[in-house]
Chain A
Amino acid sequence: MFPIKAGLCALGLLLPALSLAAELTVEVRGPEGQALEHAVAALLSEADDSDRPEAVMDQRDRQFAPYVLAVRTNTLVRFPNSDDIRHHVYSFSPAKRFELRLYHGSTAEPVLFDQAGKVSLGCNIHDAMLGYIYVVDSQWYDVSDSDGRAVLADIPAGDYDLQIQHPRLAEPLVQRISLAADDTLNETIELEALGPDPRAREPESDLQRLFDR
């Protein structure tokens, strides 16, 4: 929904090109070809000053929902608390350091994410809570679904840097891509050298850990 909106907004800016918008579907796959959810695909573009709608990073069942959220730079993100317990959401990521001390419901002020980058979210009370907000300088971006598919629409023809980010990916992957007018392009991105899923906790016991010298 947001990308379409964004696309509509961008339409007026690109009018001089007089070209028709293209659509890009990115399929993100893992090293074994499996569909990779939660990948953020974004075509990097100049910043604009258009209004940003507020984004929401909810907390349900002691988890951030969604797990991965992609926002444009300078977007306000709300952190409502759908659980009946308090959370203490924080981030020490260089892209955005903030701290929402023990709050309940929707009492927390929205946080402005004004710098592109990856923001790791944690809860000081619940260590198991982990979420990501990817702040991108882009008008066309999406988070891959369970099929690993992210769809970018209404893209004026041109050459772009396609940036792929994922929690298991240490550094963003950037790929040059050309889009013609009315193009409907399917781009499959295979990510190699994936790190472990940060959500996955090691199953080993403390004892084993101790003696695992």
Chain B
Amino acid sequence: MRRSYLAKVLLSLLGLVVLVELASYATTRLVVRDSVADNARRELLRGGEVFAQLMQARAEQLSLSVQVLTDDFGFKEAVALADEGTLRSALENHAARIEADIALVTNLDGELVASTHALAPESREHLARRTDVSGRASAHSSLMIDGRPYQFVVSAVRAPEPIGVAGLGFEIDNQLTRDLKRLTGLDISFVSLDAGDERYLSGTLAEEAREPLLQKLREQQPAPEQVVTSDDTMTLLLPVAQEPTSMAAVLQVPLEQVMAPFDRLNGQLLWVVFGFSLLAAALAFLLARSVTRPVRALADVARRMASGYYDTQVPVTSRDELGELAQGFTKMQTAISEREQQILYQAQHDRLTGLVNRSQLFPEMESVIERAKWTESRFALLVIDVDNFTRVNDALSPEIGDQVLAEVARRLAAETDTDDIAARLGSDEFALVLWEADTERAVSAAETLLARFADDIHLEDLNLGVDLNIGLVVYPDHGAEPETLLRRANLALGQARLSQQRITVYQAGWDERHLRRLALFGEFRQALEEDQISLNYQPKLWLDGSGHRGAEALVRWHHPELGSINPEEFVAVAESTGQIGLLTRWVLKAAIKDAAPWPDDTSLAVNLSALDLLDDDLPDYIDQCLREAGMSAGRLCLEITESAIMREADKSLNNLERLRELGLSLSIDDFGTGYSSLSQLKKLPVSELKIDKSFILNLDRSEDDQLIVRSTIELGHTLGLQITAEGVESQAIEALLEAYGCDRVQGFYYSRPVPLAEFLEWLNDNHRMKAHAR
């Protein structure tokens, strides 16, 4: 990633530089080449001008010189006399003065009179044609004399009429071309251009280059006064003479020489390209590093943040965007850290009360346990609920409920030391961890706590008395795991709630029982289907001598692994799991079916749970069962415990009436353990009270019980109720009951609960027994 970014930057920067450099190189090359070529062309043209000027200067010099000569009186005289010797000496003298290469005099007919050189006849002839000055002062021309090129100027000799012509000439020789080359920097050649007789006359070209030039001129025949560019040279051809042979000056610039500075520039440009590329690479590297380094640092910071560290120093201090980003990172760390703290706090604490919440309690307890292990200390866990809190909530308002909870939490928190923990487990459930507390200290602490709640809670214009139930466990006595401790404390709390004991310490075995119940939850329905549950019947006798008998159907669960299970236990399980209706209906159906064939004076009693009383469909179901079995409703008695009927008295009244209307009788079971009032008792459509066996078992030895039982029987009779005593285990008790006027008895003295078959046997025997009693 980093490398690829570097590569990207490098590539783009380098590419850009190379591109720009190449473009500028190409442009420069083009421009320079053009300009160099242009310069060369201009130089050549200027050279041409210089050449022309030089030639003109020489011509003027010649012209002036020849005029001086012809204006000389003596010379005129010599010409007039046509004295050849004198003339020749005069010409030589004058030519020497101006370093002319040739001087001559002709007469007006062009015939040579005198000359510094002996001339070939054809040159004379040619000269004769060139000396017609006809009135002009002088005339200039370039011409070939005896095969040599000359700049030649003629002038009339006037005395004062023309009497002859004088001519002076400079040879166009290597000296001239050397001067021209010195002035113009050009190679200059004079060539004769006569077709088929091209000759190199003079010039600065090296010997070996002369023939190729002629060759080229032959082939190309370049236009005069035009710059011609060929592969290796630029050429300017300037015609010098046409007669008698065509002659031209050829000015040349070797392209190699022209391009030499350009080649140098070329090399320099390449170095510049190379240098800039290097620079760009370095720059790209630095640039990329200036980005990748902070980015990497930021990535490290981000990784650390991901791992939960928010205090990393961001090592980027630049003032650019990356610096801003780094600042952003720093702020983000703080913000995330704060927010995490907040979220963590919210996750660990209850919003309403600010106490540690349930999920946080476990880790807290774990650390407390760890600490206790190391220090071999004890600590206590108290699970607390607010007694009848739902009533507060329902009767007043959830807002007030919340205020109550907050106050409770406040008071709990006030009880905690630094090492203690106060937590809210759920709606009105709290927990306290008291460090270094054994059972005794914990209980006393709990009592202190209760004492705190002796004062009402003041809410605006409301005073509420609040009672707490406290379940208490001690580590390690009651468990070593947080879950275990909490569960057991909860069990103790449940027990405290049930027993109205307020503070309950967990007792060994509760948890196991509880766990077994939990295990039974899942198996109950299966047990019903697999006939693990059966009915036993405990006989019930009438003491009025009517010979009536009856049986209370008692449910039994024979678990394939656990063996017989206490009915109280699994009924409680069924109640707590909402399966009680299922059980009740099964029992009703089975018992009615069993009892239907019994003799008419044999009644059947079935227990109902408190929850059954709330089942509006139950009366119809019972009616249906009776009809199906063909049993009269009068033979069926439904027993309901006193506590159950008191708890749901108002709600269940309607259903009780309906049952009664079916014609069956209702009985209050376990009478004496609940807290029923006489007025309630009077309202209920019951016909029987069953005195709890705890009053009967020791009846013959306890006078208190005798008092209670006797007055209960009397009370019941006063209210028009039949009285049944349970738990009759001896003849003495039976005698007492009979004496008190108890209507029916039930107990081991007569029979324990037995399967149907045994009960049927008992019925027959009892028949005999009854006969015997009579």
Q: Which residues of A contact B (CB under 8 A)?
A: 90-92, 97, 120-124, 127, 129-130, 196, 198, 200, 202, 204, 206, 209-213
Contact assessment for B140 and A130 in the assembled complex, using a CB-CB cutoff below 8 Å: no
Contact B77 A211 (CB under 8 A): no
- Residue pair A92, B135 in contact (C-beta under 8 Å): no
By Cβ-Cβ distance, the 5 closest A-B pairs, closest first, are: A92-B80, A122-B160, A213-B141, A92-B159, A120-B161
Given known A122-B158, A127-B160, contact A209–B137 (CB-CB < 8 A): yes
Partner of A209, one of B73, B81, B136, B241: B136
Asked whether B602 is an interface residue with its Cβ less than 8 Å from the other chain, the reply is no
Asked if B139 lies at the interface with its beta carbon under 8 angstroms from chain A, I say yes
**In the assembled complex, B702 has its CB within 8 A of some CB on chain A:** no
Query: By the criterion CB–CB under 8 Å, are A211 and B140 in contact?
Result: yes
- Is B163 part of the contact surface with A, judged by Cβ < 8 Å? yes
Contact with A along B137-148 (1 / 0, CB 8 A): 111111000000
Contacts of A90 on B, CB cut-off 8 Å? 73, 159
B134 and A196 contacting across the interface, CB-CB below 8 Å? yes
B76 near A92 (CB under 8 angstroms)? yes
B135 contacts across to A, CB distance below 8 A: 196, 198, 200, 202
A124: chain B residues within 8 A (beta carbon): 73
- A120 to B73, alpha carbons, bound, how many Å? 15
Does A209 contact B159, Cβ atoms closer than 8 Å?
no
Pairwise interchain contact A122-B159, C-beta atoms closer than 8 A: yes
Do B140 and A213 touch (CB < 8 A)? yes
The reply to whether the CB of B56 lies closer than 8 angstroms to some CB of chain A is yes
A78 to B138, CA, bound (A): 34
Chain B nearest CB, measured from A141 CB (Å): 21
Assess whether A92 is in contact with B158, with CB atoms less than 8 Å apart. no
Contacts of B134 in A (CB 8 A): 196
Determine which of A120, A206, A210, A212 lies in contact with B159 in the assembled complex, contact meaning CB atoms within 8 Å: A120
Docked-complex contact B159 and A202, CB < 8 angstroms: no
CB <8 Å contact, A198 and B161: yes
Contact indicator A130/B161 (Cβ below 8 Å): yes
- Docked-complex contact A210 and B60, CB < 8 angstroms: yes
Q: How far is the CB of A92 from chain B (nearest CB, A)?
A: 3
Decide if B137 touches A92 in the complex (CB within 8 Å). no
* Chain A nearest Cβ from B162, distance in angstroms: 8
B73 surroundings in chain A (CB, below 8 A)? 90, 124
Question: Is B71 engaged at the interface, CB distance under 8 Å to the other chain?
Answer: yes
The answer to whether A97 and B80 have CB atoms under 8 Å apart is yes
Residues of A close to B161: CB separation below 8 A:
120, 122, 130, 198
| A123 CA / B134 CA spacing, docked (Å) | 21
The residue in A92, A120, A122, A130 that gathers the most chain B C-beta atoms within 10 A of its C-beta is A92
B63 contacts the other chain (Cβ, under 8 Å)? yes
Contact with A along B61-96 (1 / 0, CB 8 A): 001000000010100110011000000000000000
Q: Are B163 and A92 in contact (CB under 8 A)?
A: yes
Which residues from chain B sit less than 8 Å from chain A, CB to CB?
56, 59-60, 63, 71, 73, 76-77, 80-81, 134-142, 158-161, 163, 241
**Chain B's nearest CB lies how many Å from the CB of A120?**
5
Task: For A202, give its contact among B63, B81, B137, B142 (CB under 8 Å).
Answer: B137
The answer on a CB contact under 8 Å between A120 and B160 is yes
Q: When the two chains form the complex, which single residue of A92, A120, A123, A202 contacts B136, counting CB atoms closer than 8 Å?
A: A202
- Whether the Cβ atoms of B77 and A92 lie closer than 8 Å is yes
B residues less than 8 Å from A202 (CB atoms): 135-137
- With A92-B77, A92-B80, A196-B135 known as contacts, the answer to whether A210 contacts B56 (CB < 8 A) is yes
A212 to B63, CA, bound (A): 12
- Residues in B neighbouring A130, C-beta threshold 8 A: 160-161
CA–CA, A166 and B206, complex, Å: 60
A196 to B134, CA, bound (A): 9
A165 to B81, CA, bound (A): 24
Least Cβ–Cβ distance between A203 and chain B, in angstroms: 11
Partner of A213, one of B60, B158, B241: B241
Query: 15 additional contacts, CB 8 Å, given A198-B161, A210-B59, A213-B140?
Result: A92-B76, A92-B77, A121-B160, A122-B159, A122-B161, A124-B73, A127-B71, A130-B160, A130-B161, A200-B135, A202-B137, A204-B136, A209-B138, A211-B140, A213-B142
Pairs A–B under 8 Å by Cβ, sample size 18: A92-B76, A92-B81, A120-B159, A122-B160, A127-B158, A198-B160, A202-B136, A206-B63, A206-B137, A209-B139, A210-B56, A210-B59, A210-B63, A210-B140, A211-B56, A212-B140, A213-B141, A213-B241
CB distance from B134 to the nearest CB of A (A): 7
Closest B residue by C-beta to A212: B139
How far is the CB of A91 from the nearest CB of chain B, in Å? 8
A170 to chain B, nearest CB (A): 10
Expressed in whole angstroms, the Cα–Cα distance for A92 and B162 within the complex equals 11
CA distance A209 to B133 in the complex (A): 10
B71 cross-chain contacts in A, Cβ below 8 A: 127
Q: Tell me the nearest residue of chain B to A121, going by C-beta.
A: B160
Chain A residues in 8 Å Cβ range of B136:
202, 204, 209, 212
Q: Which residue of A lies closest to B143 (CB)?
A: A213
Q: Which residue of A lies closest to B80 (CB)?
A: A92
* Chain B min CB distance to A194 (Å): 13
Task: Return chain B residues, CB-CB under 8 Å to A196.
Answer: 134-135
Bound: A119/B59 CA distance, A: 34
Select from chain B the residue with minimum beta-carbon distance to A92: B80
Tell me the bound Cα distance from A202 to B63 in angstroms: 16
A213 → B minimal CB distance (Å): 4
Contacts of A120 in B (CB 8 A): 159-161
Task: Report the separation of the CA atoms of residues A206 and B64 in the bound assembly, to the nearest whole angstrom.
Answer: 10
Closest to B240 in A: A213
Report the separation of the CA atoms of residues A118 and B77 in the bound assembly, to the nearest whole angstrom: 17
Q: Output the nearest chain B residue to A130 by Cβ-Cβ distance.
A: B160
Contacts of A122 in B (CB 8 A): 158-161
Closest-by-CB residue of B relative to A97 is: B80
| Closest chain B CB from A83 CB (angstroms) | 17
Q: Which residues of B contact A212 (CB under 8 A)?
A: 136, 139-140
**Which residues of the partner chain A approach B159 to less than 8 Å between Cβ atoms?**
90-92, 120, 122
Cα–Cα distance between A210 and B53 once the two chains are bound (Å): 12
Nearest-neighbour CB distance to chain A for B77, whole angstroms, equals: 6
For the complex formed, measure the closest distance between the CB of B173 and the CB atoms of chain A, giving whole angstroms. Answer: 20
Contact residues in B for A97 (Cβ distance below 8 Å): 80
B650 to chain A, nearest CB (A): 148
Residue of A nearest to B153 (CB): A210
Q: How far is the CA of A121 from the CA of B81 in the complex (A)?
A: 16
Query: Separation in Å of the A166 CB from the closest CB of chain B?
Result: 13
Residues of chain A contacted by B241 (CB below 8 angstroms): 213
What's the least CB distance linking B73 to chain A, in Å? 5
Looking at the assembled complex, report how far the CB atom of A212 sits from the nearest CB atom of chain B, in whole angstroms.
6
Residue of A nearest to B72 (CB): A124
Closest to B63 in A: A210
Residues of chain B within 8 A (CB-CB) of A204 are: 136
Q: Return the chain B residue nearest A199 by Cβ.
A: B160
Which residues of A lie under 8 Å from residue B160 when comparing CB positions? 120-123, 127, 129-130, 198
**Chain B residues whose CB sits within 8 angstroms of the CB of A200 once the complex forms:** 135
Q: Which residues of B contact A127 (CB under 8 A)?
A: 71, 158, 160
| A210 / chain B contacts, CB cutoff of 8 Å | 56, 59-60, 63, 138, 140
Across the two chains, which residue of chain B brings its CB closest to A197?
Answer: B135
